[in-house]
Amino acid sequence: MSQLAAPAPKPAAMDHLDRLENESLEIMREVAAEARNPVMLYSVGKDSSVMLHLARKAFHPSAPPFPLMHVDTTWKFQEMYRFRDEAAKRAGMRLIVHINQQGVADGVNPITHGSAYHTQVMKTESLKQALDLYKFDAAFGGARRDEEKSRAKERVFSFRSETHAWDPKNQRPELWNLYNARVRGRESMRVFPLSNWTEADIWQYILREDIPIPALYFAAPRPVVWRDGMLIMVDDNRLPMAEGETPQIKMVRFRTLGCYPLTGAVESTATTLEEIVRETLGATTSERQGRAIDRDEASAMEKKKREGYF
Amino acid sequence: MVVTIPETQVQGQAGPAPLAHAGSATGGMLRFLTCGSVDDGKSTLIGRLLYDSKQLFEDQVTTLERDSRKHGTAGEEIDFALLVDGLEAEREQGITIDVAYRFFATEKRSFIVADTPGHEQYTRNMATGASTADLAVLLVDARLGVLTQTRRHAFIASLLGIRHLVLAVNKIDLVGFDQNRFDEICADFRSVVDNFDFRTITPIPLSARYGDNVTIRSENTPWYGGPTLLEHLETIEVDIDLADRPFRLPVQWVNRPNLDFRGFSGTIASGTIRPGDAITVASSGVRSSVARIVTYDGDLDIARPGQAVTLTLADEVDCSRGDILVRPEERPEVSDQFAAHIVWMSETPMLPGRVYLLKIGTRNVAASITDIRHKIDVNSFQQIATKSLALNEVGVCHLSLASAVAFDAYEENHRTGAFIVIDRQTNATVGAGMIQFGLRRATNVHHQAMTIDKTAHIRLNGHKPFVLWFTGLSGSGKSTIANLVEAKLYSLGYRTYALDGDNVRHGLNRDLGFTDADRVENIRRVAEVAKLFADAGVLTLVSFISPFRAERQMARDLMPPGEFIEVFVDTPIEVCRQRDPKGLYRKADAGQITNFTGISSPYEAPMNPELHLETVRADPVELAERVVRFLIEREEE
C-alpha cells in the first residue's frame, strides 16, 4: 500500500504568505458552509483585489458561492468603476452595486458636506441599507488589523446586532480556528479574512500572484491640486477650483483608494509592481495617512465602526 | 522543567534579497502572546518592540507623541502602551480590556502578537490569545516578583498547549539591575511551573520602557549572557512536526460545481496525503482512496499540514461537512462521550444537564455536561469539587453528545481535539474545551429523571420540529431538493429525517399499490409517521408525489398550526418527461404503467403552498437555500 512506501520527503516550510493565504481560504469556506446568505463587500482597492483572488482559490473549481457587492458613494475614481466591472466578470460572480438614493436625492457630497457626513450617509448608512435589502447574514470585508488601533481588536467573525452595531466590549471570544458564525433573525456577521495580513503582505502577495489592481496604484502624470495638506486628483469637473487655480500635472500614485476628493496621492515614480513594493517597504507614513476620514481624532474609526462602518 | 537558552542562531539569508520583505525568508512566522499582571508593562513592551524594530510610520509616531501628552503615564516621554491600547475606554482608563493583535517583522521572521489583559475578569481573553500562539511571553514586575496572576497565566498557557515560555522580568531598572533579584524570581517561578509541560522556559531581564535587552543587549546587565527578547523570538524553533502525525482532514465544505465533480474541501490538520492513498471517513469507516488533490494553482502530488485543499475520492462515498478524512490504519477516537478541560467564558454559569452546542472542528453538535469531575483553582492548582463552573473557571468535565464524533486528544492534535461551547439561546461563545479522552457510554451516563415529552425533545434538539412536505410530479426534483435541504440543515445542527416514496414504499407501505385508494392510504401512513417524528422533535422532510389536495390537507391537519410546510416543486410535465430519471415516463407513455400521475392519473397542484419552487427558473441549490431561509425565518417567528 502506498502509505507504507518510502516516507514522504520533508515538506518545504510554508512561508508566511502561504500561511496567511491558507488561513484566509479556511475562513472563507467556513462562511460558505455556515452562513445562509453571504456576500463579499468589494471596494475595488488592492485589499479587495486580494480578497477576491483568495475567494477564487478557496472554492475552485466552483465559482465563489456568493455575490460581490460594491457600496458606491458615486465619488469614486472613474477608473475604479471600469476596473470593478471587469473584475466581477473575470471571477464569474454576480455584482450588486448599491447607492444610497436618498443621499443622492439630498445632494450629499464630500465637498460641501465634509468627509464625515458624506461617509456616514453614502457609506455607513448605504451599507446598512444594502445589507437589510438583500438580507445578507454574513458580509466579507477586506479590513486588516494592522490598519488602525480599533481594528486590532476586531474578531475575524465580528458579530453585528440587528441595527448593525458593533459592541467592542462584548465580542465573542474567538479561539483556534473555531469561528462562531451563528446569528439569528436580522443579526449578521462581518467577516475579515485578511485580518492577519499587513500592508506589506498584501503587496508582496499581489506581486507573487500577479493579481490585477487598478492603474491608480501605479505612478503616472495626473492633474492634482492641494487640499488640506493632501494632493487631490481632479478626476472630473465636480471638484471646485479656487479663482485662478489650475490643476498641476504631477507624477503621482495612490497607496489606498477611496472617494477621489478624500484620497490623497503621493508623489512617486513607481510604475511597476516591483517598484511599488519597494516603495511601500521603505515607506515612512502609514497608508491611512492619505485618508481624510481617519485623521480627526484617534477614536474616529472606533466611532464609525460602532455605528456600522466597515 | 528544562531551561534552555539557544546558543546558535539561525542563519539569516546571505545578503538582502531585493524584494524579499523582512519576515518572508525561511524563518516563516511566529505567533506569540504577551501576558502578565495588570501593570507589568505588556503594552509598553509590544510598543517598544514595534518602535525598536522600526515598524512605526512617521504619522503613527506623531499620533503617539500627541496621545502621550494627552493620556500618557510616562511624563514627557513616549508612552509606548498607547500604541497598543486601542479602544477608547482603555485609553481613558489606562488598562487593556481585550485581546489586540499586532504585527511586525524582522529580516528573519514575521510576528503576530496577541496582547492579552492581566485582569482576572479577562482571563478568558488570555485563553483566546493563547489558543493560536506558539509561545508566551509572561511578564513579571521585578519589584513584585511572581504573583497570583503569574501563576494563573502560566497555568492557562500550559493548559492551552503552549510549549515555549519566556519569563520577561520587566522593570529591571527599578531594582537597580540586580542579578540576585533576577535569580530569586527565576527560582520562584521554577517552583510554580514545576509540574507543567513546557519544553523551554527562557528568563530574560529587561526594561520595556528603556529598551534594555528588548532588541539591544543591555550594558546594565553584564551578568546576563542570554539572548535579547527579539533574538530569542527570531530564532526559537517552535514547529511541532505535524507532517509526521496521523493524517486528518476535517471536511469543511463539499465542493460541487457540477454533477461530474464532488470534492471535499478543508484544511489539513496533520499528516500528509498523496493521490492513490487509501482513505476512510472516520465516523462511518467507509473506505475509498484519494483521486486528486485539487487547488486553484493546479493539482498537487502531496498535501501537507496547514494547506487548504480539495480532495476528490475514487468512489462515491457518503461524506459531508463535519466528517474527518483519515488513513484506515490511523483512526481517531469516535465516541459520543468524552472528558475534557473546559474554560468557562460566560457570566452565566455552566450547568450540568443544560444543552449547549459544541463546535468541534467543522462539526456542530448538541451536547450536555453530564458531570463536572472537579474544577481547578487556577491560583493553587488544587482540585475542588463543584456543581457548576463560573466565568473564568476551569473544570474537568464529562460531556455527552447528541451523536458520535471523531476526535483526537487535544494534546495530540489541537485542531481535532479543541471545541468551543455555544449557548443555544444567545449564540454566544460561552466556553472553550480541550478533549482529554473518550468515554464509554455504559459506565458514564447519568440519567436525569424527567417526563420526556415533545417540549423536552425540542429543548434537547434546540430547534422546533417542522414537517417539510415536498409535493410534485414524478421527476420534478423533489428528492434532489429535499436532499440538499437536509444536508444544509444537518450542517446547521438540526436533527432531520427524510421520508421519501422509495424508502417508505419498500417497507412500511410495501402492501400498497398505485390505485387511488392505495395512494390515499399511502399518504395517510406517511403523514402519521411524519407526525411521530415531529413529536420526537425531528425536522422531517417528506417527498412524495402526493397528488391529491385532500390528503395533503389531511396531513396538514395532523400537525399543530405552523408546523406543516407545503413545498410545491413545480416542474412542467414536458420537462419531467424529458428528464425521466427513472425511465418511468417512457414506460407510462408506452402504456406499461397504469395510474401514472400526470398521464393516466391526475395531479392536483397546491392552491396556497408555503413555498412554490419553479425548477425551470432556478437550480436546485438555489431552491434548497430558499427553503432553508424560509424555515429559519419561520422558526424565529
Interface of A with B in 101-120 (CB under 8 A): none
Of A42-51, A286-295, B63-72, least confident by mean pLDDT is A286-295
pLDDT tens for residues B177-234? 999 999 999 999 999 888 888 999 999 999 998 999 999 999 999 999 999 999 999 9
Active site residue B546: yes
pLDDT band for position B518 (50/70/90)? confident
| Contact of B467 with B540, CB cutoff 8 Å | yes
Query: Where would I find the beta strands (DSSP E) of B426-548?
Result: 429-438, 467-471, 496-500, 539-543
The nearest CA of chain A is from the CA of B115 a distance in Å of 10
Answer whether residue A210 shows pLDDT above 90.
yes
Task: Name residue, grid cell 471638484.
Answer: A239
Question: Which of A3, A39, A199 best probes binding to B when mutated, by most B CB atoms within 10 angstroms?
Answer: A3
Confirm or reject contact between A94 and chain B (CB < 8 A): no
Q: How many CA atoms lie within 13 A of B192 on its CB side?
A: 24
C-alpha angle B417/B421/B423, rounded to 5°? 165
The nearest CA of chain A is from the CA of B303 a distance in Å of 9
- Is the torsion defined by CA of A128, A134, A139, A143 positive or negative? negative
| Contact of A197 with A221, CB cutoff 8 Å | no
The pLDDT of residue B634: 84
The pLDDT of residue B241: 80
Beta bridge partners of B113: B32, B102
Kindly provide the ipTM of the predicted complex, given to two decimals.
Answer: 0.89
Q: What is the mean pLDDT of residues A261-284?
A: 87
pLDDT tens for residues B376-400? 988 788 999 998 999 989 999 999 8
Within a 10 A sphere around the Cβ of B206, how many other Cβ atoms?
Answer: 28
pLDDT band for position B17 (50/70/90)? very low
Pick the closest to residue A66 from A98, A101, A34 (CA basis).
A34
* Helix intervals (H) in B506-614: 516-535, 549-558, 573-579, 584-589
Query: Where would I find the beta strands (DSSP E) of B116-245?
Result: 135-141, 164-170, 200-205
The pLDDT of residue B599: 85
The pLDDT of residue B255: 96
Beta strand pairing status for A264-267 and A248-253? antiparallel
Task: Give the C-alpha separation, B336 to B351, whole Å.
Answer: 19
Q: Which residue has the higher pLDDT, A85 or B379?
A: A85
Pick the closest to residue B461 from B360, B341, B368, B591 (CA basis).
B368
Cβ-Cβ contacts under 8 Å, B85 against chain A: 149
Pick the closest to residue B71 from B82, B58, B85, B61 (CA basis).
B82
Interface of A with B in 54-73 (CB under 8 A): 56-63
The nearest CA of chain A is from the CA of B84 a distance in Å of 7
Q: What is the mean pLDDT of residues B540-566?
A: 89
Answer whether residue B598 shows pLDDT above 50.
yes
Q: How confident is the prediction for chain B on average, in pLDDT?
A: 85
Please spell the DSSP secondary structure of B132-197, one letter per residue. Answer: T-SEEEEEEETTT-S-HHHHHHHHHHHHTT--EEEEEEE-GGGGTT-HHHHHHHHHHHHHHHTTS-
Rounded to whole angstroms, the maximal C-alpha distance in chain A is 83
Q: What is the mean pLDDT of residues B74-95?
A: 61
Task: Name residue, grid cell 526594561.
Answer: B207
Q: Full-prediction pTM beyond 0.80?
A: no
Percent pLDDT > 70 in chain B is: 88
pLDDT tens for residues A110-161? 999 988 999 999 999 999 999 999 999 999 999 999 887 778 788 999 999 9
Q: Report the interhelical angle of A46-59 vs A199-209 (nearest 10°).
A: 60
Question: Which of A149, A211, A280 best probes binding to B when mutated, by most B CB atoms within 10 angstroms?
Answer: A149
The nearest CA of chain B is from the CA of A36 a distance in Å of 7
Confirm or reject contact between A195 and chain B (CB < 8 A): yes
Question: Which of A1, A4, A14, A16 best probes binding to B when mutated, by most B CB atoms within 10 angstroms?
Answer: A16
Task: Give the C-alpha separation, B212 to B210, whole Å.
Answer: 6
From the list B98, B420, B492, which residue is nearest A178 (CB)?
A: B420
| Contact of B522 with B509, CB cutoff 8 Å | yes
| Cross-chain Cβ contact A298/B63 below 8 Å | yes
Percent pLDDT > 70 in chain A is: 87
